[in-house]
Structure 1
Amino acid sequence: MVRGFGQRALASWSTLDHAIVLALGGVLGRVVLGYTPTLAAGIIGLATMFGMLRLEAYLRRSRRGAYLTSRPILLMAGNEIIHDGLRKARIHEEELYFKLRQAGIRNLSEVAVAILEPTGEVSVLRRGELIDPLLLTRVPDQLRIPRELVMPE
């Protein structure tokens, strides 16, 4: 479901989002364990979930794991807002401004890049120091980042 709704689903949760997840977790737990769970059913349910986590970790390392890992999305390059990136990430411009304020940005000219990470968090790198190209691995649209902000390779 997270894959379908995109990284935005993990970016920032409201109090209501947390309450819904907790309620759904309780309902899902009852469904997985049955109406009247026993100790054996609880152990089987937990073992199944941990087995699924191990399977996911194994698949993530394999070639088929590309589906399980999201790519970062470039939201800002220099002081230019990448509207295609915002649309792809399902983030409104006002939400980007909120994340910039959280990062201590007072002026758009302070921003080197803003990236929505696969975890759903927004990383904001400031101008002042050149960005190591290694940190931009897997970031699409790298060519939109002004060259004067990136270390030469």
Structure 2
Amino acid sequence: MEIVVRAAVMFAFLFVITRGLPRRTLADMAPFEMLLLVTVGDIVQQGITQEDFSVTGGMLATCTFAGCAALLTYATWRWRRVARIVDGAPLVIVRDGEPVVEALRVERLPLDEVLEAARQHGIGDLSTVRLAILEPNGRISFLRAD
């Protein structure tokens, strides 16, 4: 039972910690950031199972994480307010061709990354963009000025 409690506490802790991180997709992560994710996974495992290397302990921890994730998914589907907290909200980062500097600062998103994403969408100049939106999943959507 102790493993279940540890896993639930660690799940909540990881949720809180990841809400403070910048929005990024796996494709946008640097190799070092990927290495950190793997390392954190090992550290979390040690904190949950401690000296219990049994199959049962691993299964309990995994089932607890899966159950917490399922509950969180249900809560985000059921209540919009929870979805905003868990998933985040879209954020306007370019308005009428001008970067929204404060939004970029809060998200720690360099303008160079916005320009790179614009080029990937076939946009060579931000002056042709009505809105650029940083989506909750870390991708950037562009709406052109017509």
TM-score between the two structures when normalised by the length of structure 2: 0.74
More helix by proportion, 1 or 2? 2
Aligned equivalents of 1:2, 1:124: Cα separation in 2: 25
CA contact (8 A) 1:2 1:9 kept: no
1:35 maps to which residue? 51
Asked if 1:3 is matched to 2:47, the reply is: no
Aligned equivalents of 1:123, 1:67: Cα separation in 2: 21
2:37 maps to which residue? 21
Asked if 1:122 is matched to 2:140, the reply is: yes
Out of 54, 65, 72, which is 1:49 matched to?
A: 65
Report the count of equivalent residues: 126
Aligned equivalents of 1:32, 1:9: Cα separation in 2: 26
Q: Alpha carbons of 1:31 and 1:103: their partners in 2 closer, same or farther (altered >3 Å)?
A: same
2:79 maps to which residue? 62
Asked if 1:71 is matched to 2:85, the reply is: no
CA RMSD, aligned part only? 2.0
Q: Give every structure 1 segment of 4 or more consecutive aligned residues whose post-TM-superposition deviation is greater than 4 Å.
A: none
Q: Alpha carbons of 1:20 and 1:113: their partners in 2 closer, same or farther (altered >3 Å)?
A: same
CA contact (8 A) 1:30 1:37 kept: no
TM-score between the two structures when normalised by the length of structure 1: 0.71
CA contact (8 A) 1:115 1:124 kept: yes
User: What stretches of structure 1 of length at least 5 have no aligned partner?
Assistant: 129-153
Q: CA deviation at 1:63?
A: 5.7
Q: CA deviation at 1:79?
A: 1.3
CA contact (8 A) 2:23 2:137 kept: no
User: What stretches of structure 2 of length at least 5 have no aligned partner?
Assistant: 1-16
Out of 102, 126, 144, which is 1:108 matched to?
A: 126
Aligned equivalents of 1:26, 1:34: Cα separation in 2: 11
2:5 maps to which residue? none
CA contact (8 A) 2:115 2:126 kept: no
What amino acid is the match of 2:91? I
